[in-house]
């Protein structure tokens, strides 16, 4: 069916609502819902946290009896199965809505068109595809996991204008300014997990958490957000419980080639044995393991070795590069450690999808070119 400008405006509002759950919904997707009757919004809502009511439930509660005969705009197909909450499709049917427009079909195998089919069988008109690309952008990680069985990986990099991440001696605090560092905290907070290697943890004594003190201007209290799972690749069993990482009681997953039983690890630490390849953790297997634990989106914040390996194996979906107006020089450390190339045909071609100023720095978002 064709959509009107009014339809687009209502779905745009639903997408705006869905964005309010981006720090809290994982492993569930971000979803917004707007209910309209006679040209008036009578109910709206968004999904906040797994196990709590979905967007449609909040919107229906607000609309109450006015939902009968109304149109519901939802950023993702209403669910059709009983999970931690009842099916939203059933709730819409019982409320008596006359039409449901979804931005996209839910790729979750437990839904996958069944929600729209349930609505159709109840005599409710349905449509999908309205602002689908914007809706997909809301849930890059969820969609990647559902459609391809692995998380969406964002590689965060910070460098000088000449592409150096640190001095030759390893010193790197701070290449970028406060605004960029705050932006990194927002990126961490929207991801399900932060991935790094043992070297980064040991050299920096890194905590790898979302630092509330850098986000005091955020409207919703940061303390209510969930901390991302901190995932460390430690194939040589070099980590120990005295590190700052383990002083913060939020989940840590250590990926190892062999489990370490010599230390008394805190209760929030999980060790997972992952297959190795050429003496190193198999990174594809590691991502598959994290996907099985409902990790949708990974924030890769690592040194040149791990970032380079992920890049070479084609496991990075998005490159987020913060460039500072500084020159470090030839002795500085590079963004990636990777094999030397002998031909221009071997290079990875990226496409800049966004370039924006962040304080005194520039943030570049890049993706692989389609088909490359």
Which are the contacts of 93, defined by CB distance < 8 A and separation ≥ 6? 118, 119, 122, 124
* 72 annotated binding-site participant: no
Buried/exposed code over 204-226 (b: 16+ C-beta within 10 A; e: otherwise) = bebbbbbeeebbeeeeeebeebb
Dihedral sign of CA atoms 172, 178, 180, 185 in order: positive
Task: Give the side-chain half-sphere CA count within 13 A for 258.
Answer: 6
Query: Which backbone phi and psi does 139 adopt, to 5 degrees?
Result: -135, 50
Instruction: Tell me the C-alpha distance between 336 and 338, whole Å.
Output: 6
**What span, in angstroms and rounded, lies between the C-alpha atoms of 66 and 96?**
9
Q: Could you say which architecture CATH assigns to the domain 5-138?
A: 3-Layer(aba) Sandwich (3.40)
Query: 30 and 19 in contact (C-beta within 8 Å)?
Result: yes
Q: Which two tokens stand for residue 313?
A: 């194996």
Determine if the peptide bond prior to 174 is cis (ω within 30°): yes
In b/e form, how buried is each residue of 142-175, taking b as 16+ CB within 10 angstroms?
Answer: bbbbbeeebbbbbbbbbbbeeebbbeeeeebeeb
| Alpha helix segments (H runs only) across the chain | 5-18, 55-63, 88-95, 114-121, 132-138, 140-148, 178-189, 198-204, 283-292, 304-312
Q: For position 46, what pLDDT does the model report?
A: 95
| Residue 356, annotated as binding a ligand | no
Report whether pLDDT(48) > 80: yes
Residue 192 annotated as lining a ligand binding site: no
Q: What does the alpha-carbon distance between residue 171 and residue 167 come to, in Å, rounded to a whole number?
A: 5
334 is annotated as contributing to ligand binding: no
263 belongs to an annotated ligand binding site: no
| Residue that wins the pLDDT comparison between 368 and 369 | 368
pLDDT above 90 for 361:
yes
**pLDDT tens digits for 240-284?**
999 999 999 999 999 998 887 788 899 999 999 998 887 789 999
* Measured CA angle at 150 (ends 146, 155), to 5 deg: 125
Rounded alpha-carbon distances, angstroms, from residue 274 to 228, 243, 297: 21, 23, 19
Structure-block tokens of residue 205: 């004594």
**Pick from 103-107, 221-225, 260-264, 318-322: least confident:** 221-225
Q: Is 200 annotated as a binding residue?
A: yes
- Judge whether 172 is annotated as a binding position: yes
Q: Does the domain formed by 140-368 have CATH 3.40.605.10?
A: no
Comma-separated ranges of CATH 3.40.430.10 domains in the chain: 140-368
Taking alpha carbons only, the member of 50, 91, 87, 86 closest to residue 72 is 91
Q: Residues 16, 52, 56, 94: which is the catalytic one?
A: 56
Is-catalytic flag, 56? Answer: yes
Residue with tokens 């720095």: 361
Give start-end residues of each CATH 3.40.140.10 domain in the chain: 5-138
Residue 119 confidence class, pLDDT cut points 50, 70, 90:
very high
Q: What is the pLDDT of residues 81-100, one digit of tens each?
A: 666 667 888 899 999 999 99
Q: What is the pLDDT of residues 188-214, one digit of tens each?
A: 999 999 999 999 999 888 899 988 777
How many other CB atoms are there within 10 angstroms of residue 105's CB atom? 17
- Tell me whether residue 345 is annotated as binding: no
Preceding peptide of 27 cis, ω within 30°: yes
């Amino acid at each position: 069916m064709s959509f009107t400008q009014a339809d687009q405006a209502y779905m745009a509002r639903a997408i705006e609502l869905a964005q309010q759950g981006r720090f809290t919904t994982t492993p569930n997707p971000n979803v917004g819902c707007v209910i309209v009757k006679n040209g008036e919004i009578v109910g709206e809502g968004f999904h906040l946290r797994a196990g709590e009511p979905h967007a449609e439930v909040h919107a229906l509660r607000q609309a109450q009896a006015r939902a009968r005969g109304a149109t519901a705009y939802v950023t993702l197909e209403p669910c059709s199965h009983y999970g931690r909450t009842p099916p939203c499709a059933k709730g819409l049917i019982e409320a008596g809505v006359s039409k449901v427009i979804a931005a996209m079909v839910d790729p979750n195998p437990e839904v996958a068109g069944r929600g729209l089919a349930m609505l159709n069988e109840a005599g409710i008109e349905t449509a999908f595809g309205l602002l689908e690309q914007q809706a997909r952008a809301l849930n890059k990680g969820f969609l990647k996991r559902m459609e391809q069985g692995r998380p969406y990986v964002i590689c965060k990099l910070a460098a000088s204008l000449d592409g150096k991440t640190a001095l030759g001696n390893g010193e790197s605090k701070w290449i970028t300014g406060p605004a960029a560092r705050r932006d990194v905290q927002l990126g961490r907070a929207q991801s399900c997990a932060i991935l790094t290697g043992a070297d980064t943890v040991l050299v920096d004594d890194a905590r790898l958490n979302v630092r509330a003190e850098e986000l005091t201007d955020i409207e919703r209290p940061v303390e209510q957000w969930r901390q991302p799972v901190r995932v460390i690749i430690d194939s040589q069993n070099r980590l120990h419980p005295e590190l700052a990482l383990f002083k913060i009681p939020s989940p840590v997953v250590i990926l190892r080639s062999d489990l370490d039983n010599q230390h008394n690890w805190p209760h929030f630490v999980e060790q997972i044995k992952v297959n190795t390849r050429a003496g190193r953790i198999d990174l594809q297997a590691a991502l598959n393991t994290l996907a099985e634990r409902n990790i949708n989106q990974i924030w890769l914040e690592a040194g040149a070795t791990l970032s380079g390996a992920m890049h070479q194996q084609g496991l990075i979906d998005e490159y987020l590069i913060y460039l500072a107006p500084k020159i470090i020089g030839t002795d500085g450390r590079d963004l990636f450690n990777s094999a030397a190339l002998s031909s221009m045909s071997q290079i990875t071609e990226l496409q800049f999808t966004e370039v924006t100023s962040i304080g005194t720095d520039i943030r570049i978002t890049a993706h692989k070119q389609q088909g490359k």
